[in-house]
Amino acid sequence: MKRCLLLNLTLFILSFPLFACAEEPGWVVDAEGQARIIEGDVEAAEAQAERDALRNALQYQIGVNIESQTVVHNAELVSDVIDAHVEGYAKKLEYIEKPHPDPKDPNYIRVKLKVWVSRNIHEVMEKLSNPRVIFVGVKVETSDLDERLTKLAKDRFSTTIRSMLTDSGYEIAWLTDSQVGEVRKVIEKLAGMNIPKNERIRATSELWAIGLGDLADLFLLGEVSFSMRDFEIPNPEKYPNLSKAKVVNLDGSVQAIRFDAESEATRLIIEKLIETEAKQKSDRAVRLAVDDAKPTVKALIDKIEGKMGPPNRLVVLYVKGLRSLKEYQNFQEMLSQYEPYGIEKVKGVIFDKVMSKFILTFSEQFLVNGDLSQRVKYLATVINQSLNWKVTKTATRSMMIEKVSE
């Protein structure tokens, strides 16, 4: 998509008068598109080139008519959203130049269309503010660690990524090891652009069959490994508590992979290498290695936000004192009744007897007249008026509450 943006952005001629098309008025735009011929399938390339022209026309018109920092600074995100909704908001009126081989590169088909663009393009932009779903499945390998430390390393690293994503406001689903394996197989198939189209379609179907394809905006995958060795301490008599110190190395990478269902393809949009080393007693060394990896994970999340847009209507709610699934469900139902206070959606993401988590999506309508932090403070006041709950901490995107002793 970035390629299309760079190559085709200057190819538009805007006709300002409104033009009636189908059921509603809109704009008329001249737009070019192109597509690569794969496996000799010229017909498919012609269709894709026309779609590219529609997408470029819609993208251009959004840039002209909507003032948005997201549009200006996040062109790749806008392109992704437009690609998913182009049919409903842009239609071909006629050919200006019919599909033909590119004179500069016969491996590409080019086309130029007169395109109608709907006036309701603001609906496309609204998609940018919807919560983003990320599927996480990072494999953690260990060597030279006993069973107890292996479990500690896996749990600690997995929990760190999940918590940091949740705290940043993303809705996430955590993949099981078996699901991670299945997703990797599918992505490997889809990544092979030289395989026949019917094979890519079959791989796409597999992703849907395991219940993931219809939900994912992004897959966060990766592999990290922990290894341990003895650490020789100089003058050990001065450090009796570290006489059995270990060195723990954490090495690996995490990749953010966007899945395009329509073209049966995936693309790697972010990859972060993780390398840390910690010297301490074995348990402490594992924890320190994970803590040292947090800046890299944070940088990854920042890049995800840059690619996908901020989840700027989401607040994380931590709850202490829910001791059963029934209490958890009752509490979620209570939150769902807070619509008059600005809550549009409630999603429970973790249930634990010590600490439960919920994602609250605030209505855009309520955020018009006040920023998110003001809404959080207002909701805290409402909860504090309850006989059963009190707020112990608030921040811009998070709140902690606990049950009042009966």
Last residue of a domain, one of 252, 277, 308: 308
The H-or-E segment that residue 304 falls in is: helix 282-308
pLDDT tens digits, 136-159:
888 899 988 889 999 999 989 988
Beta bridge partners of 112: 32, 97
User: What is the mean predicted confidence (pLDDT) over 194-202?
Assistant: 62
Last residue of a domain, one of 275, 308, 341: 308
User: What is the mean predicted confidence (pLDDT) over 71-96?
Assistant: 68
Written as six digits, the tokens of 264 are: 């049966």
Last residue of a domain, one of 129, 163, 197: 129
Q: 342: left (phi > 0), else alpha (psi -120 to 50), else beta?
A: left
Residue 123, domain CATH? 3.10.129
The H-or-E segment that residue 20 falls in is: strand 13-21
Distance CA(67)–CA(305), nearest Å, equals 20
397 Cβ contact partners less than 8 Å away, ≥ 6 residues apart:
167, 168, 169, 314, 315, 316, 372, 376
Same domain, yes or no: 301 and 319: no
User: What is the mean predicted confidence (pLDDT) over 93-119?
Assistant: 93
* pLDDT band at 210; cut points 50, 70, 90: low
Same domain, yes or no: 225 and 108: no
Tell me the CB-side half-sphere exposure of residue 133, using CA atoms within 13 A: 14
pLDDT tens digits, 315-368:
878 888 888 888 888 888 888 888 888 888 887 766 766 778 888 888 877 776
The amino acid that residue 121 corresponds to is I
If one counts the domains in the chain, the total is 3
∠ CA 298-281-147, rounded to 5°: 80
Same domain, yes or no: 50 and 106: yes
- Residue 3 clears pLDDT 50, i.e. is over it: no
Which domain, by its residues, includes 61?
A: 2-129
- Residue 198 clears pLDDT 80, i.e. is over it: no
End-to-end CA distance of the chain: 58
- In the prediction, which pLDDT does 15 show? 39
- In the prediction, which pLDDT does 191 show? 64
Which tops the pLDDT comparison, 185 or 153?
153
Residue pair 248/288 in contact by the 8 Å Cβ criterion: yes
Q: What percent of the chain has pLDDT over 90?
A: 20
Same domain, yes or no: 120 and 167: no
- Residue 374 clears pLDDT 60, i.e. is over it: yes
Written as six digits, the tokens of 220 are: 């966060």
